[in-house]
Amino acid sequence: MVSLLDPASVAHLQAAPFTYDDVGATLDAPPAGWATLRVTRILERRDFEQAAAELLAWQVQEGAGLRVAASSPQVVADAVVRAQIGLGPLRISAPCRVVALIGEPDRAGFVYGTLPRHPVQGEELFALQRLGDGSVRLEVVAFSRPALGAARPLAQRYLHALDRPAR
């Protein structure tokens, strides 16, 4: 369940600078010189509207096993989020701010970028596409430093998150 950040944390994160220069680059092409990742999956037993509603309620992150605290229960422009993984002193916190929303008749999603104290620098795009045959594809695109080798298992968890039963 997504929890809401307290107002002081929201203000602090919204005022924080991104930790990289190419803000919004996942919407076109990740910049040269960065580790990049692009994974896709056709969702099972999902319609586009339902999957989009879940994606825009941080369910990809939660379904991948992250604890999510955000400025809003829905992904909106400039929303901030602190995703956490791990337990106790081994917990890693990853603050991000929404860079862009994707809202087209057959495409929905968002991009967020890293803020100070995130373990990497970079950006992730989460996009759903309704294909011509009616199926729905989820795509995750990312670029980061350091290398994304450790992020690949999490990206695979993102791809399966929307095929889990709704909570």
| Structure confidence by residue, pLDDT tens digits, 96-127 | 999 999 999 999 999 999 999 998 999 999 99
Whether residue 32 is contained in a domain is answered as yes
Q: Give the domain range for residue 56.
A: 3-161
Write the CATH number for 67: 3.30.530.20
Tally Cβ neighbours within 10 Å of residue 7.
Answer: 9
Higher pLDDT, 67 or 86: 67
Whether residue 59 is contained in a domain is answered as yes
Mean per-residue pLDDT of the chain: 91
* Ordered alpha helix ranges (H), 19-104: 48-55, 59-63
Domain count, the chain: 1
Residue-wise pLDDT for 89-102, tens only, equals 778 899 999 999 99
Whether residue 167 is contained in a domain is answered as no
Residue 147 has pLDDT above 60, yes or no: no
Q: Any residues with CB less than 8 A from the CB of 136 and at least 6 apart, and which?
A: 42, 43, 46, 47, 48, 51, 128, 129, 130
Buried b (16+ CB within 10 A) or exposed e, 102-132: beeeeebbbbbbbbeebebbbbbbbbbbbee
Residue-wise pLDDT for 9-45, tens only, equals 999 999 999 999 999 999 999 999 999 999 999 998 7
